[in-house]
Amino acid sequence: MKSETVSFTGSLGERLVGIIDRPDNEDVTAFALFAHCFTCSKDLRASSIISRALAEEGFAVLRFDFTGLGESEGDFSETGFPSNMDDLVTASEFLAEEYQAPELLIGHSLGGSAVVHVATRIASSKAVATIGAPYDPEHVAGLIGDDVETIRERGEATVSIGGRPFRIRREFLETLQRDNLAETVRLMRRALLVLHSPVDAVVGIENAARLFDAARHPKSFVSLDDADHLLRKSQDAKYAGRLIGTWAAKYVGP
């Protein structure tokens, strides 16, 4: 497996940084696009392990930092769920122009909700895999906790998420509410794989049930057993990556 650092212009005009993990040989099954979890980055251990596991399965995977996160430029407080989706579309355009259009979309947590939403905007996509994805993106507001009311009253606030400070504005919360995932997934018309842990303490398993029920066939569900939300155990992340690769091979590629 080999990795390459790349950069491209995101939806808000900022420089976004990503990594493409791919097989050592040039025989690539298909290109995939990976969306990381809320306030995470492409360098989250689980993201790296999943992408590399997919590379071992013959996929080339682009994982990148959304605007204002990780190594990417921009102000996180100026972003929102719609800009995350737009970043994914620009990432797919970058792949199509410089490498190969992505056929597989993968999203972790809120990134899972995002890839479901953009699937129809990325014409080359044939299969979508979600990992611990919330059925309702507004679920993210729960991670902000008591600061939600402060943000709504004052317009913005600096909150601690995962031990790191983030400035979040009222507009960000409002963008999470403009959503109809049931209709979106029903009209997606892509193969769907839902992976979720029954003991996920951040995004409950009921989210997976609602997502799966709303989708049309072909669709599959896999339990991640005792994995936590961030797939901190390397074996859980590797299992997810390999499983996605095996499943997706039926729907993508030559």
Domain holding 48: CATH number? 3.40.50.1820
Residue 197: inside a domain:
yes
More confident residue, 77 or 21: 21
User: In which band, very low, low, confident or very high, does the pLDDT at 143 lie, cut at 50, 70 and 90?
Assistant: low
| pLDDT value of residue 178 | 58
CA–CA dist 6, 94 (Å, integer) = 10
- pLDDT > 70 fraction of the chain, expressed in percent and rounded: 92
- Number of domains comprising the chain: 1
Contacts of 92 (CB under 8 A, 6+ apart): 33, 101, 102, 118, 122, 124, 125
| pLDDT value of residue 206 | 94
CA-based nearest residue to 119, from 168, 65, 188? 188
Residue 170: inside a domain:
no
Taking only the tens place, the pLDDT of each residue in 145-183 is 677 788 888 887 877 665 667 777 777 777 666 566 778
Q: Where in the sequence is the domain holding 13, given as residue range(s)?
A: 2-137+185-248
Helix pair 170-177, 81-98: axis angle to 10 deg: 80
| pLDDT value of residue 101 | 98
Look over the chain and give the mean of its residue pLDDT values, rounded to a whole number: 91
CA–CA dist 196, 226 (Å, integer) = 10
| pLDDT value of residue 78 | 87
Residue 149: inside a domain:
no
